[in-house]
């Protein structure tokens, strides 16, 4: 990891004109929603009327960016980009873990040194490199009581309290209010789609028959049901936003406050969250700065991204920038001015909340998007939270009899090394143009731009990108970063304190060897070479065979410790002849908290011909 300045240089970062006192500095109110797609907002073209009337009102009073993106498709690393001005490989926060010794300043540090009162509500652990961080106040808890994250009135109370505390301290405020919706659990949605009682009823509830189906999904009753709950949760997020704005208006400081609104990434359904397609990262970014931004304006010229947020906040507040930002301020665009060099954004994805690495990179222009997916080797299966959705399960259920859905499922599960899309004509990323000769020049331009981003930001993925035609080198890179993630998790579970943002390399916990063919009715043996560190003691291996539709055939659990080889033998049913199976193995007590996971798929099952 490369860091480009020392923390000691933070002293004296404030640069204020002599005739300007702290009382004249604008307040900053940064409001985020969790897991909301850009086109779920009315002002950004939502096809379903009435989803976001209050957010739309902010857009009518301010400036919205048509080409705005976050860097990452999942929230912990996405939010750390927002408030550090750095890509994940330069913050150390590439997944859902803490970095105890960052040598770069966070928004909290910079704003406090500039005389701001800094508070947060929600997503506290996701918004800083480690916890507890030195916010002036955590508004998630009021008077010793943790607030209901889905309740609109609680957001009013938290925002009001934060503004009052800043006033009492004699300081301008910088508040980060993070609205939980439409992150799951969705409104009134229980396990397996069951409708349950929910005391936090949105001001409008949508029904399955009225919701639009995103182009990257498909029309099915289960999909409609899930989307109805999602859009009702979008409306509840809008209710919470209305409560935040009510508190601001009542404070009498509305005209002295810059309001910034955005989502941390796209909806929590397949082909959106935890990925880097257009719908994964495009965010409904709105800025209302009284006296500066013009009401009802839309910027369709400039591309901005989350890495630019902190530099822009500093410019708004008149605070000198520290060294080392990957992003840059878009202040000129707030004033309606042109700013050159805003025609590309660089997007990254590394790791899910379970520590599973599926590294991806994307460079996107206003029309096109290029993606590099080194995790995709035809064998690895994409690990993501969206596989727990009704929509994903419906996709798996329908795939055996629907070739189109089967093709989408294959892309989702196994991916491809490179993708290229014309988002202007194909916003849902349905047609991969990577091998289309008509787009060869654009592909080359975007590949070159991606490499330049990698070089400029010291991205550790660069060698894999430069050797993308060498499958062994690309796979070795993925194995390396997965081993680092496994080692970090193993150290944490072994009770060792984490002292660095980058885990030290460690041998893989296990390798799985499987025969590429199987015979029905005959033994089928999976070999696991394991290297379990002593601090982990005895661990359980869970080895499972599944049919082509993902249904479990058999699971065997065996305890092991230390270094050695574990052989697990299954007997395959006779009715699998002519079909295929997959084998999955993980080590740990349960899948949700596994230490490492491996899978092998498309193993053919057939009878051997007798001579």
- Average pLDDT of span 139-153: 97
Question: Is residue 611 pLDDT above 70, yes or no?
Answer: no
pTM for the whole thing?
Answer: 0.79
Alpha-carbon dihedral 598, 601, 603, 604, rounded to 10 degrees: 170
Determine the pLDDT at residue 549. 60
**Percent residues over pLDDT 70 in the chain:** 92
Q: In the prediction, which pLDDT does 550 show?
A: 61
Structure tokens given for 511: 């390798």
Mean pLDDT, range 336-357, rounded to an integer: 96
pLDDT tens digits, 508-549: 688 888 998 889 888 889 999 998 887 778 888 889 888 776
Query: With contact defined as beta carbons under 8 Å apart, do 13 and 113 qualify?
Result: yes
| Rg (the chain; Cα; Å) | 25
- Spell out the SS3 assignment of 371-413: EECCCCCCCCCCCCHHHHCHHHHHHHHHHHHCHHHHHHHHHHH
Position with higher pLDDT, 496 vs 199: 199
Looking at the predicted structure, is the pLDDT value of residue 107 above 80?
yes
276 confidence band (pLDDT: 50, 70, 90)? very high
Percent of the chain beyond pLDDT 90? Answer: 74
The tally of CA atoms less than 13 A away on the side-chain side of residue 257 is 27
> Residue 1: pLDDT band by 50, 70, 90 thresholds?
very low
Tell me how long the chain is.
611
pLDDT at 190 over 70: yes
pLDDT value at position 262?
A: 98
| Confidence (pLDDT) at 467 | 96
Mean pLDDT of the chain: 90
| Cβ(322)–Cβ(8) below 8 Å | no
Mean pLDDT to the nearest integer, 185-211:
95
21: left (phi over 0), alpha (psi -120 to 50) or beta: beta
């Amino acid at each position: 990891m490369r860091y480009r300045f020392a923390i000691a240089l933070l002293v004296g970062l404030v640069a204020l004109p002599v005739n300007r006192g702290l009382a004249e500095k604008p307040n900053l109110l940064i409001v985020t929603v969790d897991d909301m797609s850009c086109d779920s907002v009315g002002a950004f073209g939502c096809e379903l009327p009435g989803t976001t009337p209050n957010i739309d009102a902010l857009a009518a009073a301010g400036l919205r960016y048509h080409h705005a993106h976050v860097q990452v498709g999942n929230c912990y690393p996405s939010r750390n980009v927002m408030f550090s001005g750095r890509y994940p490989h330069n913050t150390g926060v590439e997944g859902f873990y803490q970095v105890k010794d960052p040598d770069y300043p966070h928004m909290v540090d910079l704003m406090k040194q500039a005389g701001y009162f800094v508070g947060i509500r929600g997503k506290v652990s996701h918004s800083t490199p480690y916890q507890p961080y030195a916010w002036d106040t955590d508004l998630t808890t009021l008077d010793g009581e943790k607030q209901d994250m889905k309740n609109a009135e609680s957001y009013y109370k938290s925002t009001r309290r934060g503004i009052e505390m800043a006033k009492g301290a004699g300081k301008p405020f910088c508040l980060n209010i993070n609205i939980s919706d439409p992150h799951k659990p969705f409104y009134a949605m229980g396990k397996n789609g069951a409708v349950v009682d929910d005391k936090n009823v949105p001001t409008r509830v949508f029904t399955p028959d009225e919701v639009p189906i995103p182009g990257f999904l498909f029309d099915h009753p289960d999909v409609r049901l899930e989307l109805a709950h999602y859009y009702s949760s979008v409306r509840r997020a809008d209710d919470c936003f209305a409560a935040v704005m009510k508190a601001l208006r009542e404070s009498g400081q509305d005209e002295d406050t810059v309001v910034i609104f955005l989502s941390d990434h796209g909806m929590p359904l397949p082909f959106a969250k935890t990925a880097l397609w257009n719908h994964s990262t495009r965010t409904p970014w709105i800025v209302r700065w009284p006296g500066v931004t013009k009401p009802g304006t839309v910027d369709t010229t400039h591309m901005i991204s989350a890495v630019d947020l902190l530099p822009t906040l500093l410019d708004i507040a008149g605070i000198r920038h520290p060294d080392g930002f990957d992003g840059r301020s878009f202040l000129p665009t707030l004033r309606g001015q042109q700013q050159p060099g805003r025609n590309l954004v660089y997007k990254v994805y590394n790791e899910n909340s379970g520590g599973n690495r599926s590294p991806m990179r994307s460079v996107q222009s206003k029309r096109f998007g290029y993606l590099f997916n080194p995790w995709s080797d035809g064998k690895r299966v994409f690990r993501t939270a969206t596989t727990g959705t009704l929509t994903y399960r419906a996709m798996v259920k329908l795939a055996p009899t629907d070739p189109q859905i089967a093709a989408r499922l294959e892309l989702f599960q196994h991916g491809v090394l490179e993708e290229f899309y014309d988002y202007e004509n194909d916003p849902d990323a349905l047609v991969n143009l990577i091998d289309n000769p008509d787009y060869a020049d654009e592909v080359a331009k975007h590949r070159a731009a991606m490499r330049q981003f990698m070089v400029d930001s010291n991205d550790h993925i660069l060698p894999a990108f430069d050797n993308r035609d060498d499958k062994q080198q690309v796979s070795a890179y993925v194995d390396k970063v997965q081993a680092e993630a496994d080692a970090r998790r193993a150290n944490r579970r072994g009770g060792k304190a984490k002292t660095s943002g980058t885990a030290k390399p460690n041998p893989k916990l296990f390798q799985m060897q499987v025969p590429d063919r199987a015979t029905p009715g005959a033994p089928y043996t999976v070999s696991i070479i394991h290297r379990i560190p002593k601090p982990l003691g005895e661990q359980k291996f869970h080895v499972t065979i599944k049919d082509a539709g993902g249904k479990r055939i058999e699971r065997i659990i065996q305890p092991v410790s230390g270094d050695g080889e574990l052989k697990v033998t299954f007997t395959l049913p006779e009715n699998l002849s002519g079909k295929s199976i997959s084998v999955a193995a993980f080590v740990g007590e349960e899948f949700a908290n596994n230490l490492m996971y491996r899978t092998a798929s498309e193993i053919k099952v057939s009878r051997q011909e007798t001579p």
